């Protein structure tokens, strides 16, 4: 795993992403799983958007933190692609984004977008987007 894009996010900005993911995680609505997840994303225009998981009794209607943050950014007209994504959960393990979130992120990330996953103990793991979803179905497939 080579983090080709790590230097495109300053240490100060990275700390903001981390703090905002931590803060929004506390707002999660997780009465069924009990696991709170917060995400923060950094857009090309250096704006940060956040999201938290919002569970629903009909599990399929649940919205993950990552998708919530992306939806906010798009609805606010943020400039894409994303520079970085920070995901923090309340589990003893640092979880990567789920498959559905990775598919949504593939629409707005580059292969080198920095993805950081973290847990309640602040264990951090960093990846390039392509490390988590190396053969993503992205808009390039629809251009033929």
pLDDT means per 10 residues, the chain with 144 residues, are: 63 96 98 97 97 96 98 97 97 94 96 96 94 91 83
pLDDT at 41: 98
One of 3.40.140.10, 3.80.10.10, 3.40.109.10, 2.40.30.10 is the CATH number of 6-142, namely 3.40.140.10
Phi-psi region of 122 (alpha: psi -120 to 50; beta: other; left: phi over 0): left
> What pTM, to 2 d.p., does this model score?
0.93
CB 70 within 8 A of CB 113: no
Tokens 């940060």 — which residue? 48
81 vs 78: CA distance, rounded Å: 9
pLDDT at 120: 87
- Whether residue 66 lies in the annotated active site: yes
Across-strand partners of 118?
Answer: 88, 124
Considering 55, 66, 107, 124, which one is annotated as catalytic? 66
pLDDT at 75: 98
**Nearest one of 5, 2, 53 to 25, comparing CA atoms:** 53
């Amino acid at each position: 795993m080579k983090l080709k894009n790590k230097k495109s996010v300053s240490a100060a900005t990275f700390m903001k992403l981390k703090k905002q993911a931590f803060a929004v995680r506390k707002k999660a609505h997780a009465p069924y799983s009990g696991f709170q997840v917060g995400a923060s994303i950094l857009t090309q225009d250096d704006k940060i958007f956040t999201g938290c998981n919002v569970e629903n009794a009909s599990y399929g209607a649940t919205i993950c933190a990552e998708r919530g943050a992306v939806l906010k950014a798009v609805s606010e007209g943020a400039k894409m692609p994303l520079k970085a994504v920070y995901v923090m959960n309340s589990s003893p393990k640092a979880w990567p984004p789920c498959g559905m979130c990775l598919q949504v992120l593939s629409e707005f990330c580059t292969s080198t977008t920095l993805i950081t996953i973290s847990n309640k103990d602040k264990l951090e793991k960093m990846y390039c987007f392509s490390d988590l979803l190396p053969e993503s179905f992205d808009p390039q497939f629809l251009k033929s």
